[in-house]
Amino acid sequence: MNTFFKDPAKLLMQTLLIIIVVLAAYFLLPVVFTCVMPFIVAYAISKLIVPMADFLVKRLKFPHKLAIAIVMLLLIGLLGLLVFTIFYQGVYELQRFSYVIPSIIEGDFELPRWITKLTDFYYTLPLSMREFVVMISNNLRENIYSIIEPATQAVINAATRVAKALPNIFIFTVILILSTYFICTDRQKISGFFKGIIPQSVMRRIEFVKNDLVKACGGYLKAQLILMGLTFLILFFGFTILGVDTAAFVAFVVAIIDLIPVLGTGTVLIPWAVISLFSGKYFFALGLVIIYAIAFVIRRISEPKIVSTQIGLNPLLTLVAVYAGLKTMGIFGMILGPIIAIIIINFIHSEKHYKEQQAE
C-alpha cells in the first residue's frame, strides 16, 4: 500500500511543517535579514581576517588583538585604495567619453532633417488626413508625457532615498567594523555563549544548515561574478569591433549595471542605439542592438545553469525559486528566492540527517 495511506497523519504534519517554514521565511526572513545584516557580513569577514591574524600571532608573535587590528586596517586600506582607483579611473574614462558627446550633438545629427522631411510630407496630405495625423500626434504626446512624468518623479524619489540612506550607511559601516573586531577577538566566548544557551540537538541542526547556507551564498556570489565576467567579455569584444574608444570601461560599467535585476544591459545599450540611429550611424546602432541581443540571450540561457551549479540547486528548482521570489517579493525577490529555497531544503535535510543520527 502507498505510504500516503499507511501514515497520512505523518504526511500531513510534514506538509504543515513545510508550509509553516515557507510562511515564516516569507514574512520574517526579510525583516530579520535586515536587522542582522551587519553582523552576518561581519561574521563572513571574520572568517577572512582570523587566519591572517593567527599567522601574525604564530610567526611574528604579535598580540592577538593587535594582529586583528592590523589586518583590519590593512583590509580597510586596500578597500579604500580599490575604491579610489575605480573612482579615479572612472572619472578619467568619463572625461575621455565626454569628448565623444559633442560629435553626437553637433555632428551629423539627422533628427532635425527627419523632422523637416516629415513636416514637408505633412503639408502634402489632404485636410482630413492632416486632422487624423494631428489627433495621433496629440495622443502620442500625451502618452509620452504620461511616461516621462512618472519616470522623472521616480528618479527624484530614488535620489531622495539615497540621500536619506547616507546616515544609515554610515551607521551600518561603523557597526560592521566594530562587530567584525569583536567577533574576531571574542569568537571563542561568543561561540561558547551560544552553545551554552542552545540545546545540542538544535546546535547540530543549525550547524548543518549554516554550512550549506554559507556554501550556497558564496556560490550565488560566485555565479553572479561569472555572469558579470561573461557579460563583460561579450560587451568588450563587441565594443572593440565597433571601435568604441573606452571599450573596457564602458563594458565594465554596463556589466555592473546588468547585475541589478531591475536594470540590465538594455538600460544603456538601447538608448545609445537610438541616439546613434538619429545621428546617422546606422551600422553602429545595429551593432549595439546585436550586442544587446547576444548578451541578453546568453545571460538568460546560462544564468539558471550557472546559478544552479554554484549553489547546488536543480536548474528547474532554481527557475521556480526565482519566479516565486519575483512574484511574492518583487525584483529583489529574484535574489532572495533561491536563498530561501536553500534554507527550506537545508532545514528539511537537517531534520532527516538528525533523525538518521538518532536512529543510529
pLDDT at position 8, please? Answer: 64
C-alpha cell at 226: 561569472
171's enclosing H/E stretch is helix 127-185
CB atoms < 10 A from the CB of 274, how many?
13
pLDDT at position 10, please? Answer: 67
Q: What is the pLDDT of residues 283-336, one digit of tens each?
A: 888 888 899 999 888 888 887 777 777 766 666 777 777 777 777 766 667 777
pLDDT at position 199, please? Answer: 73
Q: How many helices (H) does the chain have, and how many strands (E)?
A: 13, 0
* 287 φ, ψ (degrees, to nearest 5): -60, -40
CB 338 within 8 A of CB 311: yes
Judged by DSSP in three states, 246 sits in coil
Task: Give the chain's residues under pLDDT 50.
Answer: 1-5, 104-108
pLDDT at position 33, please? Answer: 72
pLDDT at position 245, please? Answer: 75
pTM of the model: 0.57
* 161 φ, ψ (degrees, to nearest 5): -65, -40
Q: What is the pLDDT of residues 199-230, one digit of tens each?
A: 776 677 677 667 766 777 777 778 888 888 99
Separation between Cα atoms, residue 338 and residue 321, nearest integer Å: 5
pLDDT at position 237, please? Answer: 92
pLDDT at position 233, please? Answer: 93
Helix 333-359 vs helix 315-329: angle between axes, to the nearest 10 degrees?
120
CB 181 within 8 A of CB 71: no
